[in-house]
Amino acid sequence: MTPKLTRRHLLGLGALHTAAALGLTRIGLTTAHAAHAPDHAPALVIGSGYGAAVAALRLGEAGIRTTVLEMGRLWDTPGPDGTVFCPTGAPDRRSMWFRTRTEAPLATFLWLDVVNKDISPYPGVLDRVRFAEMSVYVGRGVGGGSLVNGGMAVTPRRDYFTEVLPQVDPAEMYDTYFPLARRMLGVNTVDPAWFEATEWYRFSRISRKHAANAGLKTVFVPNVYDFGHMQREAAGQAPRSALAGEVIYGNNHGKRSLDRTYLAAALGTGNVTIETLHRARAVRRQPDGSYVVTADRIDLTGRTVETREISCSRLFLGAGSLGTTELLLRARETGALPDLSERVGTGWGTNGNVMTGRANHMWDTVGANQSTMPVMGIDDWSNAANPVFAEIAPLPTGLEHWISLYLAITRNPERGTFRYDPATDSARLDWTRAQSQVSVASAKKLFDRINLKNATIYRYDLFGGNKTFADDFTYHPLGGCVLGQATDAYGRVRGAPGVYVTDGALIPGSIGVNPFVTITALAERNMARVLATDHAAYATR
Ligand code: FAE
C-alpha cells in the first residue's frame, strides 16, 4: 500500500527540510519566526520514536500545542559526501552515538576484526547501550528506532497478544488500531513474483528451502521500505539504499521512517514543534499539578550548552523502553515523583532475541547481492513445545559467503529489573547471561533441527569468543513501565496524574514478533482514549 501524502505531511516535510537547510534545532511550521524557545507547552512529548510520534500527531490534531524533545539530531542534511547517512561499509562519525569506534552487532567475520572502524565522537544515529550482561541497540534522532531498524512491520498473533496484554480489548486492536498503524506507517509487501526471481532475495529463498527440509513453515513479512523503490534500485532506475547495504546506520532512500510519516503529519498540524539535541533529564511536579522537565541541550560535541526547564500540563513519555523507564525510576528514587508505583523498572525483557548464523554447502549459494530489508520469517510460534519466530536476516558483504543469518524471537519468560544508581544518576539493568540462555536453548532447538536435516553446521566466527549464538544484545527492548502495572490500562502513570507512557516500555518484555507495529497500534489506542476522556481535565492550559 502506498501511503497517501496529505497536505499535512507535505507541510511537515517542508518544515523538516527548512530546519535541516538552516541547521535549526527547533522544527515546526513557525520555526523561522520563533525567536525564543517557549518554556511552557500544554503538552510535552519526550522522544520521537514510534510511541512519541503517535502522541505528537494526535495531540497536534486535537489542537493542543505540543513540544517534542529528542536527544538525537535531525537526519535530513547531507554531509560533505552528499548523503545524509554514512555508508555501512565505511562508517564515519554519523554511524554511532558518541563513540570512538563502531560497535556493530556482528563483530567479526572469519574471526577477523574487519567490521568495526574508528570514528570520531558525534551524535550518530545508532546507539548500543551497554549494561553488565546485556546490550541494547537503539536509534537516536528524529524518528528514533525507525531510522536504523529493518523495517519489518509484523502484527503479532492474536492469541499471544491477548496473553501478553490481557487488559487490552483484542477486537478493538485487530479491527481498528493495527490496521490504522499499518496504514499510517506505510506498510507494504514485496511482490512475490519479483521475490522469486531476484538475486537480491536469494538468501531468503535458500533459508526457506532449508526450513522446509526440516518441515518448518516460512511466511512473508511486510515492511515499511518502499518495495517499488527497491525494484527500481534493482533495475538501476533509482539510487540504491536497501540494495547498497544500508540499514543499521540509516537508509538514504526508500525507507518510510517516522520523519516521513507520523512526524511529518504531526508538524503539519501547525501545533507541534520538535526540539532536537535536547536530552530530558528530570521530571518534577509543581504544586498546581503541572510538570517541569529539565532538559540539557547539547551541541554536536556532546557538551551541554544550555539547561532548560520546560513546564507542561501533560507529559507523554516516548523515550523508548530504556529512556522512559530511566526517567520515571530516577524521578521516583530521587523523590521528585515519590508516589510512582514500585513496578516502575520491572517487567523488562529482550523479546527473546538471539542471533545465529549457519554455514551452507558450497552449492547453496546465498548470493553476493542481498537486500538489507528482511521479508521472510520461519514461523514456528504455534509449536507449543518450543515457539520461535525467526527473521531471515541479510548479511550483505558484497561477496558470496554461504552464511544464513537469523534473528530469532523466542518465548523467554525471564524478566529484568532496573535499579537506580545514585552514583551515576542512571538506571542499571539486572539481567544475567543465564537469563539469555533460555532464548539460546529455544533457538538452538529450532536450528539444530534445520542443521540436522540439511547436514549443515553453525558459524563460529561472527559473534566473538567462538559463540554460535549472540546472547548479549537485543534489538527489541520491551517493558520497564508495564501497562496495567506501572500505568493503568491506557498508559496513565500511577502516582503522577497527567503523565503518560506511550512507547515500548508498556509491553511486558515479549510480543513474539518484531515490535514496532504493536508499539504504534497500542499508542494509537491509548491516545484515542486519553484525548477523549482526559482532555477536559487538562484543557489546553
Ligand atoms: P524508540 O523508537 O527507541 O524511540 C525513543 C526515542 O527517544 C529515541 O529517538 C531516543 O533518542 C529518544 N530519547 C531517549 N531518551 C531520551 C531523553 N532522555 N530525552 C530525549 N529523548 C530521548 O522508542 N522493530 C521492528 O518492529 N521491526 C524491525 O525490523 C526492527 N529492526 C530493528 C533493527 C535494529 C538495528 C534496531 C536497533 C531495532 C529494530 N527494531 C525493529 C526495534 C524497533 O526499532 C523498536 O522496537 C522501536 O523503535 C521502539 O519504539 P519506541 O517508541 O519504544
| DSSP code string of 464-531 | STT-SEE-SEES--EEES-TTTTB-TTSBBTTSTTEEE-SGGGS-S--SS-SHHHHHHHHHHHHHHHH
Whether the CB of 479 sits within 6 Å of ligand 1: no
In the reported structure, the alpha carbon of residue 515 is separated from the centroid of ligand 1 by a whole-number distance in angstroms of: 10
Q: Are 157 and 170 in contact (CB under 8 A)?
A: no
Atom 25 of ligand 1, residue of closest alpha carbon: 514
Whether the CB of 320 sits within 6 Å of ligand 1: yes
Predicted TM-score of the model (pTM): 0.97
Closest by CA position to 527, among listed 55, 172, 63? 55
- Residue from 501, 514, 518, 522 to probe ligand 1 pocket by mutation (most atoms less than 8 Å from CB): 514
Write out 306-364 in H/E/C secondary structure. EEEEEEEEEEEECCHHHHHHHHHHHHHHCCCCCCCCCCCCEEEECCCEEEEEEECCCCC
pLDDT (tens place) for every residue of the chain, 541 residues total: 556 789 899 999 999 988 888 888 899 997 544 445 669 999 999 999 999 999 999 999 999 999 999 999 999 989 889 999 999 889 999 999 999 999 998 877 777 777 899 999 999 999 999 999 999 999 999 999 999 999 999 999 999 999 999 999 999 999 999 999 999 999 999 999 999 999 999 999 999 999 999 999 999 999 999 999 999 999 999 999 999 999 999 999 999 999 999 999 999 999 999 999 999 999 999 999 999 999 999 999 999 999 999 999 999 999 999 999 999 999 999 999 999 999 999 999 999 999 999 999 999 999 999 999 999 999 999 999 999 999 999 999 899 999 999 999 999 999 999 999 999 999 999 999 999 999 999 999 999 999 999 999 999 999 988 999 999 999 999 999 999 999 999 999 999 999 999 999 999 999 999 999 999 999 999 999 999 999 665 555 5
Whether the CB of 330 sits within 6 Å of ligand 1: no
How many C-alpha atoms does 453 have within 13 Å on its Cβ side? 14
Whether the CB of 140 sits within 6 Å of ligand 1: yes
The catalytic residue positions are 391, 476
In the reported structure, the alpha carbon of residue 47 is separated from the centroid of ligand 1 by a whole-number distance in angstroms of: 9
Whether the CB of 499 sits within 6 Å of ligand 1: no
- Residue from 88, 426, 476, 517 to probe ligand 1 pocket by mutation (most atoms less than 8 Å from CB): 476
- Residue from 149, 220, 224, 298 to probe ligand 1 pocket by mutation (most atoms less than 8 Å from CB): 149
In the reported structure, the alpha carbon of residue 149 is separated from the centroid of ligand 1 by a whole-number distance in angstroms of: 8
Strands 40-46 and 457-458 come out as unpaired
Closest by CA position to 19, among listed 156, 142, 146, 158? 142
Measured from the CA of 145, which atom of ligand 1 is nearest?
A: 48
Whether the CB of 481 sits within 6 Å of ligand 1: no
The secondary element (H helix, E strand) that includes residue 443 is helix 433-454
Write out 35-91 in H/E/C secondary structure. CCCCCEEEEEEECCCHHHHHHHHHHHHCCCCEEEECCCCCCCCCCCCCCCCCCCCCC
User: How far apart, in whole angstroms, are the C-alpha atoms of residue 201 and residue 178?
Assistant: 27
Whether the CB of 514 sits within 6 Å of ligand 1: yes
User: How far apart, in whole angstroms, are the C-alpha atoms of residue 163 and residue 506?
Assistant: 14
DSSP 533: H
Atom 35 of ligand 1, residue of closest alpha carbon: 149
Measured from the CA of 517, which atom of ligand 1 is nearest?
A: 26
3-state SS of the chain: helix, strand, coil percent to 5?
30, 25, 50
In the reported structure, the alpha carbon of residue 492 is separated from the centroid of ligand 1 by a whole-number distance in angstroms of: 21
Whether the CB of 268 sits within 6 Å of ligand 1: no
Atom 23 of ligand 1, residue of closest alpha carbon: 320
Q: Are 125 and 95 in contact (CB under 8 A)?
A: yes
Measured from the CA of 248, which atom of ligand 1 is nearest?
A: 35
